[in-house]
Amino acid sequence: MDLSKIAQRQIEADVKRGFSKELQTDAERIAQLTQDTVGLIGEVGEFANLLKKADLASRIEGYNGVSIDSASPELREELADAMIYIIRLASALGADIESDLLKKMLKNDERYRHLEK
């Protein structure tokens, strides 16, 4: 499934769950963008906190934390949660997330071509 179809599926699921896709005013758009940004930061924070614990466990003898291998399923889930918020943010801005991502990758290809080996 391509990214545009995944994004569409997520937005359709959001609508079924009562989240409006039709943001009529700037105030509605800003409110939705704010809520989803807070959600995104929360998910990234959960990812970072778990990664911190795995890092400490790998560097400090006797630290009672998780290994990166055991944490990987939960880390991937937090990334998926973050992606859902990114899709929602893009939708609120009227973006085509797949197209925008590909454009940015091309821009980065040019910007960082000198680093390629």
Tens digit of each residue's pLDDT, the chain (117 residues):
899 999 999 999 999 998 877 888 999 999 999 999 999 999 999 999 999 999 999 999 999 989 999 999 999 999 999 999 999 999 999 999 999 999 999 999 999 999 999
DSSP 81-100: HHHHHHHHHHHHTT--HHHH
Burial of 116 per CB tally in 10 Å (0-12, 13-18, 19+) = exposed
Question: Cα–Cα distance between 21 and 86 in angstroms, integer?
Answer: 14
Calpha distance 48→85 (Å, rounded): 16
pTM of the model: 0.90
Domains and CATH numbers, the chain: 3-115 (1.10.287)
Q: How far apart are CA 16 and CA 7, in angstroms?
A: 14
